[in-house]
Amino acid sequence: MWPTPYFRRSPTHQSGRAGSATRHEGDAPMRTEAAVVREKNGPFQLQEIELDELRADEVRVRLVGAGVCHTDAVVREQIYPTPLPAVLGHEGAGVIEQVGDAVVGVSIGDHVVLSVNSCGRCRQCLAGDNTYCADLYARNFGGTRPDGSTALRDPENREAISSHFFGQSSFARRANVQARSVVPVPPDVPLELMGPLGCGIQTGAGAVMNSLRPPAGSSIAVFGAGAVGLSAVLAAQAVGCAQIVAVDIVPERLSLAKELGATDTVDARDGDAAERIKELTGGLGVDFALETSGVAAVLRTAADSLALRGTVGLVGAQAPGQETSFETGLSMTRGWKLQMIIEGDAVPQTFIPRLIELWRKGRFPFDRLVTFYDFADIEKAFADSAAGGTIKPVLRFATSD
């Protein structure tokens, strides 16, 4: 069910084929610059680290760009406890420099976007539901390969550094990447722009196009006009929603939502957002709602804004153990549904190329969300994102490297 690239489990391979990974005894480990988080809420420290030998089921990627995502921030805060020190980053884009012996479907020089990782063997993966992989947390947040090894080490004190965040750890100039995280993209698209398709843009667009699937002419409210929410607005317009309501508390983001296709906006600071949405829909409520903020009270408001038999999708990551209360008495007569969504229910190798084609045709202008930063300015990129001034920061690596 998984398109190429993939890796064989057979131990046999063609020795010395083009692009294969080879290391000779006595070779010094490769060194590369990376942004390392060493403690909870600590800064991203740029330093030289060692990158270990490429494994058979990996490719080595020279990063060109890497998106900054809220998930990186919540891991730095240890809301999701990836072991520290760690190299984070999970929206990488770059060029393949080396290919493991068991990997097929990609070659040296290929342009790739890096996305979520999965095992490819569990029941969910085999059914095409790879974002619900039975080993999803360990492979994306565990800080090691499945065998417990890490690809990264401090060259000075030999300290192990967590790697393979989402199979990639792309806040580095080079990374050993699990093959199932690799998505080939056309060589003529601007590679430094493509990284956010690996998570944030994919999540918002996929929540609409793959998960909720609103029919043409239907109505949808998107709660949160950040990168994920605005990607959902773009997707809702692309699939033909007749009414698209964007909800946020930042006027500039609401204005951008209107430019990108929202038919209506609601400033959640001005009264009851659910009641305002019902006014905008003639008292009916919306057919679909998408909650992207990760705030429990906003999820309740999204549910309250639904029409009869409506569906609310949740992509906003709340802290583990957090609960949201819903009215359940009269809700039975409304027949509404709650749908949990990870990574837009996408198979990245098929969905990301679809988004690129929509972008080529001017129907999915996600580049309007992006602001570029030099890799050295990673702390500023995170600060600007947290302050709400930048919607989707993307780090660019020196092209001469």
pLDDT at res. 29: 79
The structure's pTM equals 0.90
In the chain, CATH 3.90.180.10 covers 6-198+365-396
In the chain, CATH 3.40.50.720 covers 201-342
Contact call for residues 315 and 203 (beta carbons, < 8 A): yes
> Which DSSP state fits 321?
T
CATH code of 201-342, in short, is 3.40.50.720
pLDDT at res. 11: 30
Tell me yes or no: is domain 6-198+365-396 CATH 3.90.180.10.
Answer: yes
pLDDT at res. 28: 63
Q: How many CA atoms lie within 13 A of 16 on its CB side?
A: 0
In this structure, the dihedral spanned by the alpha carbons of residues 249, 252, 253 and 257, taken in order and rounded to 10 degrees, is 120
Q: Does residue 18 sit in helix, strand or coil?
A: coil
Q: In what order do the strands lie in the sheet with 44-51?
A: 86-87, 30-37, 44-51, 152-153, 160-161
Those residues of the chain that have pLDDT short of 50 are 1-26, 400-401
pLDDT at res. 27: 52
pLDDT at res. 399: 65
Burial of 12 (0-12, 13-18, 19+ CB in 10 A): exposed
